[in-house]
Amino acid sequence: MKKKIIHFHPSSFYSEPFVNPLIQFEQRLKYKVTLVNSTKVNNSLKLSNSIPRKYIQYNLAVKNILFLPISLVNILVLLVKIKPTYIISHNIRSSLLPLIATKLYGRTKSIYFNHGVSYLGHKGLARLGLYLIEYFNCLLASHVITVSENAKKELSNLTKTPISLILNGSACGIDLKLFSKKNIILSSEIQKIKNKKSFILTFIGRPEKRKGFMFVMELWEKFFINDKNMMLILCGTDIQISDYLKNPATNIINMGHTDKIPEVLSVSNCLLLPSMHEGLPYSILESMAMECPVIANNIPSISSLISNNNNGFLVEGHNHNSYFNKINFIKKKSNFKSIKKITNNALSTAKKFDREKFLVGYNKKIQSILNDI
CATH topology of domain 181-351: Rossmann fold (3.40.50)
- Say how many residues make up the chain: 373
> What residue segments make up the domains of the chain, in order of their start?
4-173+354-372, 181-351
What is the spatial distance between Cα 232 and Cα 272, in angstroms, rounded to a whole number?
10
Q: What is the pLDDT of residue 253?
A: 94
d(CA 253, CA 302): 26
Report pLDDT for 223.
96
| Same fold for the pair 4-173+354-372 and 181-351 | yes
Residue 246 to residue 319: CA distance in whole angstroms: 20
pLDDT of res. 120? 87
- pTM beyond 0.95, yes or no: no
Residue 270 parent element (H or E): strand 270-273
- Rounded Cα distance between 276 and 312, Å, is 17
- Would strands 143-146 and 109-113 be described as parallel, antiparallel, or unpaired? parallel
* CATH number 1.20.950.20 given to 4-173+354-372: no
What pLDDT is recorded for position 209?
A: 86
Whole-angstrom Cα distance, residue 265 to residue 187? 13
Residue 64: predicted pLDDT = 86
What pLDDT tens digit does each residue of the chain (373 aa) get? 689 999 999 988 889 889 999 999 999 999 999 999 998 766 445 667 778 899 999 999 888 889 999 999 999 999 999 999 999 999 999 999 999 999 999 999 999 999 999 888 888 999 999 999 999 999 999 999 999 999 999 999 999 999 999 999 999 999 999 999 999 999 999 999 999 999 999 999 988 888 899 999 999 999 999 999 999 999 988 788 888 888 888 899 999 888 899 999 999 999 999 998 888 899 999 999 999 999 999 998 899 899 999 999 999 988 999 999 999 999 999 999 999 999 999 999 999 999 999 999 999 999 999 887 5
Structure confidence by residue, pLDDT tens digits, 31-77:
999 999 998 766 445 667 778 899 999 999 888 889 999 999 999 99
- With a CB cutoff of 8 Å and minimum separation 6, the contacts of 283 are 204, 205, 271, 273
pLDDT digits (tens, 9 = 90+) for 265-290: 999 999 999 998 888 899 999 999 99
| Total Cβ atoms within 10 A of residue 3 | 16
Per-residue pLDDT, 79: 98
Query: What pLDDT does 237 receive?
Result: 82
Taking Cα atoms as reference points, which of 176, 125, 139, 130 lies closest to residue 346?
176
pLDDT of residue 305: 94
Taking every pair of C-alpha atoms in the chain, what is the biggest distance, in angstroms? 65
pLDDT of residue 220: 95
Residues whose CB falls within 8 Å of the CB of residue 345, separated by 6 or more in sequence, listed in order: 307, 310, 311
pLDDT of residue 277: 83
CA dist 212 and 231 (Å) reads 18
What distance in Å separates the CA atoms of residue 289 and residue 305, rounded to the nearest whole number? 13
Inter-residue contact 60 to 38 (CB < 8 Å): no
